[in-house]
Structure 1
């Protein structure tokens, strides 16, 4: 098998064939006209046939040059595609989400990496529920949208649906939770200082927060739910965010009442750039995962 010509010489031939001019080819390649001429002459010597007709008004491809040009062009297009593809594989997608979303989102991303190990994802959590793509360098984010209506931005994942949750053993024994009044014997775990989640649910249930003597406050829903898993109180949780804990038996729902707040979790892409194909695929997959979850009842 004859030794292949050097790749730089083939690239010089490609650019020169497009320009049919040594000077313009040199400008594109950032080398001198003489260097282009020498590389072409060396390539012709290696191949054993001329590639260009040297004419007073410029260059034109020989028959052999015309046959070689489209194949070399195709080769360099394939090289460019390979380099771009390799770059996409190495660069992880950067996703931001509220800390409370980790209980739902993290298992989904682990499943995604099993399906698509060629599209790595890096997840950053924050106690903040929003995103500012002008200042934050993320490809996409899950955001909490507290208000319903058409002003919501992004793809809908799921609505917020609140219900009390506790460790299974709190449904047994002398202080078992069987009715609303039994909550008075337990500590309510609040995911925020404003008490809005528990207030919203108790109001729908026909009770008042003032009747509950013991409360403990946390900065995030995730912390409140973690303490509930440990059996140290009753948390108010979102049915979707805690579904894995319910399936695993770490938590139970002592009441059948689930209350919609009008809020929702949305998936938004960066406004700085058009989403890449892998990002679009991941976002569509997450939306599908959210839409195929078991439906909760009010």
Structure 2
């Protein structure tokens, strides 16, 4: 059953005339008759009793009439809701981000977003950046705010929002902290604590050591940067963390090797249509990067 046929059916039932219904619908009478015939063929029964020029609903027609009205009303409501999507910012917005970005980069953005769009319910998943890529692939989130992968998959589009410079650091009483200059060789002689080996940050550091054919001593690992900072601050190991995490308990090591920098930003799936709520959030992130 299609909308034009149901509309023709209700109009004929109201007018009790094919010719008047055709005039009201701005159609020819044969066109209206064709739509009614198509509807009757789909249902396998006639809907009107035709007695001369008199046209009345039969039992089947009377059963269909309220349901036809419901279907047309549902279609009208659906069109209106879809039309509202062009202007309204509401609903649930599911996103993923890392704990570090959530703590260090997003509070002001989240506060402003909630102020502007109070009708949006935020569903924020705090996960590792690598997991956010997987969630986006499965359609579980609309976008992720993450450490960007050095080799971004083709199905994703990414945008840089923040450069996140990293610093080698250690506790004040760590042997490396007393050196004026620290070589990669010297770093390799001491225990390090880093995010797990499958993370983008670990891969950046490992590449530095592999370039000099050196190995990393990493018996400890954690994907919570705050935990890594605590363990390093009590002298258990040296580490490399975002510059924003350097505090009085840690000293920045003056290293000879190139200090890498992470790229933080958002990722979206190229084949997904974003909601107004998602686009509004990305607008705030784009303003942050400009």
**TM-score of Structure 1 vs Structure 2, range by shorter chain:** 0.5 to 0.7
Alpha-carbon offset, residue 207 of structure 1: 11
Matched residue, 2:141: 138
List alignment gaps of at least 5 residues for structure 2.
Answer: 27-75
Would you say the 8 A contact 1:177–1:183 is kept in 2? no
CA shift digits 1:124-179 (9 cap, x unpaired): 1333512364523211123531249x99832122445331235xxx32x5868232
Q: 1:237 aligns with which of 229, 236, 241?
A: 241
**RMSD after superposition:** 4.9
Alpha-carbon offset, residue 220 of structure 1: 1.8
Alpha-carbon offset, residue 192 of structure 1: 2.4
List alignment gaps of at least 5 residues for structure 1.
Answer: 1-23, 39-53, 62-75, 293-298
Question: What aligned pairs does 1:142-221 form with structure 2 within 5 A after superposition?
Answer: 142-143=145-146, 144-147=148-151, 153-159=157-163, 161-166=165-170, 170-171=171-172, 177-179=177-179, 180=182, 187-193=191-197, 196-200=203-207, 215-220=218-223
Question: What aligned pairs does 1:1-298 form with structure 2 within 5 A after superposition?
Answer: 27-28=6-7, 33-34=12-13, 36=14, 58-59=23-24, 80=80, 84=84, 89-118=89-118, 119-127=120-128, 129=130, 130-131=133-134, 133-143=136-146, 144-147=148-151, 153-159=157-163, 161-166=165-170, 170-171=171-172, 177-179=177-179, 180=182, 187-193=191-197, 196-200=203-207, 215-220=218-223, 222=225, 223-228=227-232, 232-239=236-243, 243=244, 245-246=245-246, 249=247, 252-255=250-253, 259-260=259-260, 264-289=263-288, 291=289
Would you say the 8 A contact 1:138–1:270 is kept in 2? no
CA shift digits 1:11-66 (9 cap, x unpaired): xxxxxxxxxxxxx88824986754x569xxxxxxxxxxxxxxx95863399xxxxx
TM-score by length of 2: 0.53
Would you say the 8 A contact 1:140–1:268 is kept in 2? yes
Secondary structure of the equivalent of 1:156? strand
TM-score by length of 1: 0.52
Distance in 1, Cα, partners of 2:268 & 2:207: 31
Matched residue, 1:7: none
Would you say the 8 A contact 1:228–1:234 is kept in 2? yes
